[in-house]
Amino acid sequence: MVNFFNWSRRDEVIGTRVLVCSSEDSMSAIGSEDARIWQRHYPATTSVTASSIDELCGILDQGYDVIHLLWKTDSEGTFLDSNIRGTNLIEQCCDADVKLLWIACDNDPQAYIKGFSARGKRINLVMTIDRRGAVFSSFLDRLLAKTAYGDTLPVAWNQLCPQAPDLEHSDAPACIFFAGRGGVLLR
């Protein structure tokens, strides 16, 4: 059997599977809206409301390529109501061959710095600091329109938010983006 990745030298996913997971609190309404946007571009999108972050970890092995997570952390980067730190979830996602983990609710940037280490990991990671209300939905829709039709996440992100000193992006959420698997194509 030929390994398509090695043969073509491309990291490409056809039929990208997305899981939008939110906590049972007020995040479930936001999760439903985010799931609709993902569904528009990636039909194999599933939305769940979980009672704990442990529940999410229990379904990571179901073959999802993208995890879009709406879950708060404490100041140390540990998910609320659990003992799972961001770094632990990143490792579990890597083990499950998740290509993109997007923490999509507002969290303190210091919590991400303290508790989310992706260094050396083969995963794209987006950590949201401020969704900026409806700006998030609009940005997500525009970003996914680009990635679903062939742009890698770093290319699409840079087209929408060029990285230059002192450049403000009022039409984008405030996020930290780590491109540990920048060449992956999610179709």
Domains, the chain, ranges and CATH? 11-186 (3.40.50.1460)
Q: Which two tokens stand for residue 30?
A: 């936001």
Nearest C-alpha neighbor of 142 from the set 98, 172, 177, 182:
172
Highest averaged pLDDT of the listed ranges 3-12, 21-30, 106-115: 106-115
Q: What is the pTM of this model?
A: 0.93
Distance CA 110, CA 137 (A): 24
Query: Which sign, positive or negative, has the C-alpha torsion 60, 64, 65, 71?
Result: negative
Query: For residue 10, is pLDDT > 80?
Result: no
Q: Which of 163 and 55 is assigned the larger pLDDT?
A: 55
